[in-house]
């Protein structure tokens, strides 16, 4: 019974970390494993009055610390490779930015743009936000013959079992990383390419416009 009591705080901590899905899950794992080792030490010392508290170690806590160490090492390895891959892009960006800053006219244009942004108020946090759209699990069309939410959309959205809903974005789900934007762009790219091909095919590669009398025309 005492061992179950000792496991309860550790399980509660891990359950909370899994439920909230926080990015600090590894820290929760370290805290839970350390707490388990400490409680197991107290049980060996106080409850069972063992001569050597470490005679029967806490294998659960040790394995938890081991997995936390492995996860941290792998994460740092991935971050190192990612940073290395971005070095060339960073070098090009620094060279471009240095060239811009060395030109007085370009610096003046940037300052003017900064003043315009502040004047309009776009520098406020409530404006400079990008949110995800509301999504719903994809479902087959209803038996009545009317399509579901995903009717007419790219099959990619059906394959990932999420369909974006029409209407305003989900303000409770902001975009938190460039990886998320990249993944969304990877999904949107084939859809846009196909639509551009359809538009170009319908207009024979010409742009639609309006003539002097309002009639529809196509220009190069």
pLDDT tens series, the chain, 220 aa: 556 666 777 777 777 777 766 667 788 888 888 887 787 777 776 665 555 555 666 777 788 888 888 988 988 898 888 888 888 888 999 999 999 999 999 999 999 988 888 887 777 766 667 788 777 765 544 433 344 444 556 666 666 666 777 778 888 888 888 888 888 788 788 888 888 888 888 877 777 777 777 777 766 6
Q: What pLDDT sits at residue 61? A: 78
Tokens linked to 202: 């319908």
Angle between helix 59-85 and helix 87-101 axes, rounded to 10 deg: 50
C-alpha 158 chain-centroid distance: 20
Q: Give CA–CA dist 115/123, Å, rounded.
A: 10
Tokens linked to 193: 């390419």
Q: What pLDDT sits at residue 56? A: 65
Measured between alpha carbons, how far apart are the two ends of the chain, in Å?
82
Q: What pLDDT sits at residue 15? A: 78
Backbone angles phi, psi at 123, to 5 degrees: -85, 0
Q: What pLDDT sits at residue 108? A: 92
pTM above 0.75, yes or no: no
């Amino acid at each position: 019974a005492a061992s179950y009591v000792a496991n309860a705080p550790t399980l509660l901590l891990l359950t909370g970390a899994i439920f909230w899905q926080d990015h600090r899950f590894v820290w929760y794992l370290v805290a839970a494993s350390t707490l388990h080792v400490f409680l197991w030490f107290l049980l060996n010392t106080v409850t069972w009055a063992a001569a050597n508290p470490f005679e029967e170690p806490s294998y659960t806590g040790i394995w938890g610390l081991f997995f936390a160490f492995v996860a941290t090492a792998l994460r740092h390895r991935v971050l190192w490779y990612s940073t290395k891959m971005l070095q060339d892009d960073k070098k090009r960006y620094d060279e471009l930015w240095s060239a811009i800053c060395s030109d007085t006219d370009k610096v003046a244009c940037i300052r003017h743009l900064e003043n315009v942004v502040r004047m309009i108020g776009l520098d406020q946090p409530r404006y400079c936000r990008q949110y995800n759209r509301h999504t719903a699990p994809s479902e087959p069309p209803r038996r009545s013959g009317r399509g579901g939410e995903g009717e007419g959309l790219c099959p990619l959205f059906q394959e990932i079992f999420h369909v974006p809903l029409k209407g305003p974005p989900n303000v409770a789900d902001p975009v938190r990383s460039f990886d998320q934007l990249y993944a969304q762009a990877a999904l949107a790219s084939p859809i846009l390419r196909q639509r551009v091909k359809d538009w170009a095919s319908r207009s024979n590669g010409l742009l639609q416009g309006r003539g002097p009398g309002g009639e529809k025309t196509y220009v190069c």
